[in-house]
Structure 1
Amino acid sequence: MKKLALALAGGAAFAIAAPAQAATVIDLEGDGSGTLTGEFTGSVRTAGAFSQMFTFFLPENGFTASSITTIAITMAGNIDFTSVTLNGQEFTLSPTGFVENGFIQLFTRAGEQTLIVNGISGTNAGFSGVVTFTPGVPEPGMWLLMILGFGAVGGAMRYRRRQNHKVSTKFSFA
């Protein structure tokens, strides 16, 4: 009897649990200057609470900025963001009824980044956003190479200056 009760309880928990959602990957594209940009969109088909996760990969440390916006076409399709986070850091949200938006800017480390959007929605609602990455300050090794380069240029200029000096002497016989 205990086994039957446990089996029924497990089956009920499995049936009630929300389906797991795989993360959507945001493709970042470069503009040639090192800056990467990508867009993400989400749609909600049923009314109630929702959570959507997005991931993207950064090749190096730097600064990441992201914005998110929703515009409701009808009252039934309104989205209210409850939280939007990038790597656990909260977006600054500006809820204004039919139009809601949010923004964040932070230093990020190289590797996989996670953006999570939580909210409450009517039926057939949507949101979209943009992620922009700018490479950060050079690593210590790059600083060392840069300083050595400046030293080499300075040494070469000093060497040339010495080479261009002419020594002249004047002899006078009386």
Structure 2
Amino acid sequence: MKRSHFVKFTMIVLFSLGSVGVVGGSFFLRRAFSSSSPNQVITDTSRYREIRHQLWLSQNEIKHFPQEIPQDTENLRIAYSPGVSQASVFFQARLKQSPAQIEKLLTQYRKLAKRQYRGGDSNDHANLPNGVPTTLFYTSDSGGESFPPSFEILVLNAENKGRAGFKWNHGNSYGVAIDSSASEIVYWAEAW
């Protein structure tokens, strides 16, 4: 009789330890994945220089971004995501400047643009005839994904890195979005 009590006691202890292990293990796995899964978007404007000069890997894609934020800049907003798993990597800097400076930038970038769009977002632009993916409005005040029609989106380059039959599955694009009426410019680069 003692042997059967010992076996039952051992089984109860083993099942209890197994349950604690499963619950504890799932807790730690959940914490590990929840801290690294969400796409961490950096919006701290004091990190602009670090992102511009160190974190963004392809300097060619952001050579049109200002080296430093101009002193007369107002309402600076940034959005940077290093991308996690299948997520896009993006960098945007939105700033307000004098109307004269914005007009000068608009003239400069219109000459360099390979594509031009009015408002919308990456999906809208890519689905147009001969369209290319651009970006979403990550630095929007309202959290919206589309640029309002007042923005002129100027694509400086877009590179398809997808495979045949699955165009734009991977690629990158960069450019500027300019709203002359609000004297704002959004510098953007995105890779997916």
Compute the TM-score of the two structures, normalised by the length of structure 1.
Answer: 0.30
Query: Rg larger in 1 or in 2?
Result: 1
Compute the TM-score of the two structures, normalised by the length of structure 2.
Answer: 0.28
Would you tell me which structure has more helix in proportion to its own residues? 2
Higher relative contact order (Cα pairs below 8 Å, separated by 6+ residues): 1
Would you tell me which structure has more strand in proportion to its own residues? 1
